Amino acid sequence: MKKSELVEDLLKRNKETPLQIYEEGQTQKKIGEPDEKLTNDAYNKICELWNKDEKSRGFIKFLIRSFIPRKPMNKILSFSGAEDAKVRCCILGIKLAGVKEITDAWSPLTVMRMQEHAAMTLEGRDKVSKEYLKKEKKLLQDMPVEVRNSTIGYFSDKDNCDKYLSGEAYGALLEFVDDCVWSDEEEVVNLLTQMKRAEDRKNAPKPDGKTWKKPKEKGGQKTFGFSQFIDDKAMEKLKGIK
């Protein structure tokens, strides 16, 4: 296997100048938003796997085929009853949570915060009470780490994929693909082109005798243009591909 110097350069660049998701100085993210450090860890891991060996590169290609274009609605609703080993991000190895687990755990804390702020207004206080802080700390400590950090899991709707990605790894994978397109990484560009052609063939009208009929929609699924595989700027670089 030939190592990609372009991907090596992407890895070096990201280690020197990590991806910045939030404004400088912003440390606290909202529930469900990605962790900046984990996103960079995932990006670096993807680059490393791409140049590790054929098997690892094949795995990244498999993830690209399985998770791109991005479908924000493909969030895991609940992992209830799933085996622990399967409820992990296949890039970072961290445990994942479903939307229901996160919502159920954070709702009591959200209500408690609202009640405390109302009490502060009525009592003319500008600080939360020690009793409140104690209760809040206890609720947070009792949460599983993946719920406390709102590490949402994403699934692929491809039949042959049983892997999950964290929101951080998902974002990193999209960034990696965009960067590879902009850097003219041939294998990634060829893969995206193959995916687009396969999607076109899948959705093309099929001959029926002497007439052509439009295929029926299955399950209300929408088809995706190539522009949804990557961002608008990167798309411009691929418009000449036939």
Question: What span, in angstroms and rounded, lies between the C-alpha atoms of 80 and 101?
Answer: 8
* pLDDT value, residue 170: 96
Tokens for 126, please give them.
């500008």
* pLDDT value, residue 221: 39
The two beta strands, 206-208 and 211-213, are: antiparallel
Q: Are the C-beta atoms of residues 179 and 166 closer than 8 Å to each other? A: no
Question: What span, in angstroms and rounded, lies between the C-alpha atoms of 76 and 222?
Answer: 20
Q: Are the C-beta atoms of residues 224 and 67 closer than 8 Å to each other? A: no
pLDDT per residue of the chain (242 residues) written in tens, 0 to 9: 899 999 999 999 999 999 998 887 665 567 888 999 999 999 999 999 999 999 999 999 999 999 998 888 899 988 876 655 568 999 999 999 999 999 999 888 889 989 989 999 998 888 889 999 999 999 999 999 999 999 999 999 998 999 999 999 999 999 999 999 999 999 999 999 999 998 888 777 766 655 544 445 444 433 334 444 455 555 555 544 44
Q: Are the C-beta atoms of residues 69 and 226 closer than 8 Å to each other? A: no
> In a 3-state reduction of DSSP, which class is residue 58?
helix
Question: What span, in angstroms and rounded, lies between the C-alpha atoms of 46 and 29?
Answer: 24
* pLDDT value, residue 1: 84
E strands of 89-200, at which residues?
153-155, 164-166
Question: What span, in angstroms and rounded, lies between the C-alpha atoms of 76 and 225?
Answer: 25
Question: What span, in angstroms and rounded, lies between the C-alpha atoms of 46 and 162?
Answer: 18
